[in-house]
């Protein structure tokens, strides 16, 4: 299939959160004669003036992330550990030896305040993983390394998750109105998948519409070049950003490489998603 993954096999994905205030209008208006990489770089540099944006190393690549509520958010809904942000790009760092779930098994529990509707969504998503991939999601008894599904916003439709195996207790947060497809997406981060749009080869398939991105959010569209793409790019991947993610004007922030719009519905796994996960967990 597709997807980017650390030395281990991690991939990439979605979000539409709005975190930052506008501070880069001048940089955008003055960049008409510059190429996309220059525009993205200048927009990101301006955004770094906001105090909660930080720079760190992920797999040896410098990235921009947001420090919020004591956690490190990358590309909106991926939570990185402090360890992941300080490791060098050495053998197995950020890879299979540290961040892949042992024995292909993810133990999990569900917070008591989750609500029956979201519990049903979690059960559906767990069944998708257990029936279609080599991973096994198993209800926790007394295991010390596990995932807890927690309740997020009562009026939102987003989520977030720690990326890969961290050890100890880690979290998947789900808002009240999140879809089953987006639950599968957040669980994809848990197994180690990053966002599809950040693959190294993405420019062959999609065009980032930098001028339509919310001020200060361009860093969420940077490529993650320290990983390895598995399989072909898949614009319908469950780990793909929406076409209008972080849009400031309702216009697409991602189009096909030929500058046409694409319609994307996050409903569940594609064959490519399944192949990628199974390559990670043979």
Query: Contact 222/198 with Cβ under 8 angstroms?
Result: yes
Binding-site residues for Zn(2+): 185, 189, 195
Residues 6 or more apart whose Cβ sits within 8 Å of residue 254: 197, 206, 207, 208, 209, 221, 241, 242, 243, 245, 262
Query: Contact 145/122 with Cβ under 8 angstroms?
Result: no
Angle at 184 between CA 181 and CA 187, to 5 degrees: 155
- Ordered by where they begin, the domains of the chain are 4-97+194-280 (3.40.390), 101-155+164-187 (3.40.390.10)
Q: Is 88 a catalytic residue?
A: no
List the pLDDT tens digit at each of the 282 positions of the chain: 444 444 333 343 333 333 333 333 333 323 333 344 444 444 444 444 455 889 888 888 889 999 998 999 999 999 998 888 876 654 333 333 358 999 999 999 999 999 999 999 999 999 999 999 999 999 999 999 999 999 999 999 999 999 999 899 999 999 999 999 999 999 999 999 999 999 999 999 999 999 999 999 999 999 987 777 888 999 999 999 999 999 999 999 999 999 999 988 788 999 999 999 999 999
Strands (E), the chain: 4-5, 53-58, 61-68, 71-74, 78-80, 105-110, 136-139, 146-151, 159-162, 169-174, 206-208, 228-229, 254-256
The model's pTM: 0.80
User: Which residue in 66, 128, 186, 196 is the catalytic one?
Assistant: 186
């Amino acid at each position: 299939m597709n997807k980017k993954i650390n030395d281990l096999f991690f991939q990439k994905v979605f979000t539409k959160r709005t975190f930052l205030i506008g501070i880069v209008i001048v940089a955008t208006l003055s960049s008409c004669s510059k190429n996309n990489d220059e525009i993205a770089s200048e927009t990101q540099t301006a955004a770094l003036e906001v105090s909660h944006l930080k720079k760190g190393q992920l797999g040896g690549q410098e990235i921009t992330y947001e420090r919020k509520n004591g956690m490190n958010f990358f590309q909106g809904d991926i939570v990185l550990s402090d360890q992941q942000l300080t490791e060098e790009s050495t053998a197995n760092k950020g890879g299979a030896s540290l961040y892949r779930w042992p024995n292909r098994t993810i133990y999990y529990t569900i917070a008591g305040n989750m609500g029956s509707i979201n519990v049903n969504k979690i059960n559906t998503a767990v069944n998708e993983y257990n029936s279609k991939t080599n991973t096994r999601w198993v209800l926790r008894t007394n295991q010390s390394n596990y995932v807890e599904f927690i309740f997020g916003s009562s009026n939102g439709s987003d989520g977030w998750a720690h990326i890969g195996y961290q050890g100890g207790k880690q979290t998947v947060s789900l808002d009240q109105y999140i879809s089953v497809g987006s639950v599968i997406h957040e669980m994809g981060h848990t197994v180690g998948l990053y966002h599809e749009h950040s693959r190294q080869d993405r420019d062959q398939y999609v065009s980032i519409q930098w001028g339509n991105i919310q001020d200060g959010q361009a860093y969420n569209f940077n490529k993650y070049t320290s990983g390895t793409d598995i399989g072909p790019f898949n614009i319908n991947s469950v780990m793909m950003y929406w076409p209008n993610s972080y849009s400031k004007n309702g216009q697409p922030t991602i189009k096909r490489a030929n500058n046409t719009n694409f319609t994307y519905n996050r409903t569940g796994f594609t064959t490519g998603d399944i192949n990628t996960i199974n390559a990670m967990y043979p």
